Amino acid sequence: MTTKKYGRSACTSILIGKKASIDGSVIIGRNEDSQTAWPKHLKFYPHIEHQQVIFKSKANKFELKLPEVAYQYSATPEWTDRYGIFAEDGINEYHVAVSATESAYANERVLAADPFELETGILEEAIITVVLPYVKTAREGVKRLGEIITEHGSAEANGILFADQKEAWYFEVASGHQWVAQRIPDDSYAVVANQLGIEVVDFNDTDAFMTAPHLQEFVQANQLWPADQPFNFRRIFGTTDDSDLVYNTPRVWSGQRLLTPSAKQMPQDFNLPFIRKPDFPISVQMAQRVLSDHYQNTPYDLVANPQVTPRFRPISVATCQESHLLQLRPVQQPELIGVHWLAMGIAAQSVYVPFYSYGQKVPAMYAHGKETYSTNSAYWVFKQASVLLDRHWARNAKLLAGVQRDTNQALTQQLRQSDQALAEQASHQDLIDQHNQKVADIALKAYQKLTAQLLTEQTADSPLNFNVDPNL
């Protein structure tokens, strides 16, 4: 994440094609990793007609005249727009989902030829706001962002996730004006971790690839790759350094070990494929497991082996502000298509709450929360539990697992009940908002109870506690 104050995020992303999921859904998701204490809110932006707006970034001098009609959409903006909006993720009324961004890095050869437009180029903080409300398909989203970067440039390297009911796309911008997007095959998935991941680009396959204008000419003109070799975007634009070996590549390995355990790979393998087929159909819950991963059942898990020197950066880390999965379900009724699964705080210690993206009223505690702890904020409810868990996570692992299991079951049951109620009474906005409030209450009450138990038990953990004479 790029701001004047807080630097860039180090996220992990997942994209799942409709034939790779258990129920035919297209799913995209990401951990938004930036700060250990920087609240996020849930917000539903309304449909707007006849707006006359020029977007002006607070992070740099990027400006863009916006279309007159803005579609309704869900999002998770920062608690303050002081450094930019950072809406990050959401689903609009046409069932297009976008998650932005997965921070990436390009090599010095590329950036010497096409440096970032630091002053006037688009940044992460603006992407959701200037793209998601104005597109009706995932392909339209890719095209709109590509046109913006071509005209205005980009101020940073990023990966952006797009999806609708039919397909998922991964968009990578590597330099000031050069980008490529690949459609994830329906029977496959991708896990991305702060690296440029897209490999060989087939410029003749316009169904599966979109690119910046004159991308090939740019590469040849700057002698960045032999003309007689397959056009490998990762090799041309990406990095293969020591940081990748410790920070990035192991996360891709861990995601793939969970979804394709038959593949025998190593954590530091630079040749991990961008696209993988799963060994089994992927559920939303399994996608949550990937985004919650900290190398469980491996020698690299610092929770199970706290005495071990950290070797690899895990997927789920303390700097996670929120984690999300945007699910586009294969149903006809519009209200039931988009589910915005939102976990506040650290994914491994939180639960994913299934909000209908067609909501209008935000549950009150999901609209509150500032930099300093407060009791009226959903973000801080989950963060407070995490802080207490961290004191003795191994000791409390069984307790946490039980709370997560019971809460996830209750949330899924409520989603099923709400789906049925909406199917019987289509287009009832009250039912949508009531569902969103119910699932928020289920999760918050469970974690408030968990916090109360942890706090009570830890009163005995004082260094001033010792065995006294029972007769005194």
| Residues forming the active site | 11
Residues sharing a CB contact under 8 Å with residue 70, sequence separation 6 or more, in sequence order:
45, 47, 48, 51, 133, 134
Phi, psi for 5 (deg, rounded to 5): -115, -35
- Report the alpha-carbon distance of residue 95 to residue 153 in Å, rounded: 27
Token digits of residue 186: 């329906």
Cα angle 32-35-39, degrees, rounded to a multiple of 5: 80
- Report the alpha-carbon distance of residue 138 to residue 61 in Å, rounded: 27
Q: Given the structure tokens 């095959």, which residue do they identify?
A: 185
Phi, psi for 150 (deg, rounded to 5): -60, -40
Q: Given the structure tokens 């204008």, which residue do they identify?
A: 213
- Report the alpha-carbon distance of residue 270 to residue 249 in Å, rounded: 7
The residue among 275, 206, 199 whose CA lies nearest residue 233 is 199
Three-class SS state of 317: coil
Q: Given the structure tokens 């790779």, which residue do they identify?
A: 20
Q: Which amino acid is at 105?
A: Y
Cβ proximity of 131 and 67 under 8 Å? no
Quote the strand ranges of 303-388, DSSP E: 320-328, 338-344, 353-356
- Report the alpha-carbon distance of residue 396 to residue 465 in Å, rounded: 20
- Report the alpha-carbon distance of residue 177 to residue 148 in Å, rounded: 9
Phi, psi for 32 (deg, rounded to 5): -90, 100
Q: How far is CA 146 from CA 141, 154, 217, in A?
A: 8, 10, 17
Three-class SS state of 113: helix
Which helix (H) or strand (E) segment holds residue 216: the answer is helix 215-221
